[in-house]
Chain A
Amino acid sequence: MTERLRLPAGILWIAPATALLVALSVYPLLYSLKVSFSTEAGGFTLSHYARLFQDRLFFLAAAQTLLYTAVALVVELLLGLGLALLVDSLDTGRGFFRAGLLAPMLLPPVVAAVVWRLIYNPQFGVLNGTLRTIGIDTSRLTWTSGAGSAMFSVILVDIWEWTPFLFLLLSAGLQALPQEPFEAARMDGASAWRIFRDVTLPLLKPTLLLAVLLRAMDLVRIFDQIFILTQGGPGFATETVSLYIYRTAFRFFNFGYAAVMSIAGLVLTTLFARALLRLLRTR
């Protein structure tokens, strides 16, 4: 059978799925471009783009999204790696710990956020209640309702919910490593720290890269938890790009400007992913 005869057959298998993906991902992007240049009446305008560069709030939201991403990513990576190494070194019960530790990331994000609303409530929440029973003054611990502590509090929820994701990937990576280099290092009498630094880390690097990239791409689009926990508040304290776009489009119905911000968001995300990849590859 010749290659020329086989190709059309392949197309029949693949075409329906590809058509749907083009219709619901490529077409929307082009549509978005059109909306970004349109006035409400349908005419051509550049005003939405002009507005972007004067919008202090957009840049504030972008900066806060980046801060959220950076802090959550570093903490989740270190905790996830530590937990993966810890559980991997246990003699028995590894499967038990692995299954239990994954629970937070499986919950519907809305439910996870509701749980933390219950926990954080300054007057009635179990967190302040527990702290009070051990003698800590909680009158100033306002968690998500305080302007100063809200960002920290939503990041803490993210760490609780998504450290399991990094734990899962890194655990799997550790299990897949070849055993010979470890045996050789042990025979040479290398310390645990040396083995970790010179054997484990280099071998685990591809998995680490993948895990960081996947998590980072998820973090920059954070929406669900913050929407439930703080709605971006108090004030603007926990506003992120996704929330700001949502508000612009579906509270103020300014679709043109929302489209501009989503395009800017896409460009920034792509650049961020590339920079991250380059940074991680050279290390």
Chain B
Amino acid sequence: MKTAWKYALAALALALALAPVYWLVTISIKKELDQFAYPPLWWNFAPTLEHYRDAFGARSFGRFLANSALVAAGSTLAALLLGVPAAYGLARFRWERLSFWILSTRMLPPIVTIVPLFLMLREARLLNSLLGLGLLYTAFNLPFVIWMMRGFFDEVPVELEEAARLDGDSRLGALVRVVLPIVRPGLAATAVFCAIVAWNEFLFALILTQTEAAATLPVGIASRVTQYEIKWGAMSAAGVVAMAPVLAFAAAAQKYLVRGLSLGAVKG
């Protein structure tokens, strides 16, 4: 194929991938009259920030945003606190069958466990609570943390920590002082992917957080879509706010995208 044709084709694919995202952004900054104008306005419109003021003006939106941030950060931290030691243990003590089992729990479709989990959380009075949702996200992200971190730990030569232990460090001390600094970029990428999964998750949040006080951003957006009269501008603004941190974080973790997304994408 001629080089020019190749670039044209790649550019076309790129345009198709990005046009819908671009369109969402334009709707979020167009006046209502321009949003559904015919012919469609791709660029020649007067931008406005009224929909963002509208979205942030609603008290519930700030609540959803805070809930999403809190549950994403909390569940990521918890998954790392449990998952990193487990990954280290599996890497150094070589429990292969347990490793495989842990990974396989990630393949369990969420819809299969949602009914019993709903009933369990109802009994524990953890419905409509960020704690309950965060607990599930922690369990959901655990296999991912273990799988990622185990790979990183396998790459660190055992001799390094053995030297530290000869100097009098405990195993935990050697892990914290010697091994973790070496795998820090991988650790950061793992955290980013956990946070993205929790931030994007919809099915669990939809079922387990039905009150406005506990709902996350995707649930808040979804509840607006299913109303009769949809405020497209405010909803698009909310959508832009929901996707912006994801794109920023993914860009920051770009080096680990393949490793992170290949398993990270196995989600509800």
Residues on B with beta carbons closer than 8 Å to the beta carbon of A228? 222, 225
Q: Which B residues contact A (CB, under 8 angstroms)?
A: 1, 3, 6-7, 9-10, 13-14, 16-18, 20-21, 23-24, 27, 35-36, 38-40, 82-83, 85-86, 88-90, 92-93, 95, 98, 102, 105, 107-120, 135-136, 138-139, 142-143, 146, 171, 196, 199-200, 202-203, 206-207, 217-218, 221-222, 225-226, 232, 235-236, 239, 242-243, 246-247, 250-251, 254, 257-258, 261-263, 265-268
If the complex has contacts A87-B10, A116-B20, A132-B38, are A29 and B86 also in contact, measured as CB distance less than 8 A? no
A168 touches B261 (CB 8 A): yes
B262 touches A169 (CB 8 A): yes
Q: At the interface, yes or no: A108 with Cβ under 8 Å from chain B?
A: yes
B138 touches A255 (CB 8 A): no
A-B contact pairs, 19 of them (CB 8 A): A10-B89, A13-B93, A17-B83, A27-B116, A86-B13, A118-B24, A118-B236, A126-B23, A126-B40, A217-B109, A218-B265, A221-B109, A221-B268, A242-B111, A245-B111, A245-B114, A249-B114, A259-B115, A266-B109
Residue B119 contacts which of A35, A123, A223 (CB distance < 8 angstroms)?
Answer: A35
Q: Which A residues contact B (CB, under 8 angstroms)?
A: 6-7, 9-14, 16-18, 20-21, 23-29, 31-32, 35, 83, 86-87, 89-91, 93, 97, 99-119, 121, 123-126, 129-130, 132-133, 160, 164-165, 168-169, 172, 210, 214, 217-218, 220-221, 223-224, 227-228, 231, 241-242, 245-246, 249-250, 255, 258-259, 262-263, 265-266, 269
Residues on A with beta carbons closer than 8 Å to the beta carbon of B14? 97, 100-101
Residues on A with beta carbons closer than 8 Å to the beta carbon of B114? 245-246, 249, 262
Residue A111 contacts which of B24, B105, B113, B266 (CB distance < 8 angstroms)?
Answer: B24
Residues on A with beta carbons closer than 8 Å to the beta carbon of B226? 231
Residue A249 contacts which of B13, B115, B196, B218 (CB distance < 8 angstroms)?
Answer: B115
13 more contacts with CB within 8 A, not counting A99-B251, A224-B202, are: A14-B89, A20-B139, A29-B113, A86-B9, A110-B218, A110-B221, A111-B218, A115-B24, A133-B39, A168-B261, A218-B265, A221-B111, A262-B113
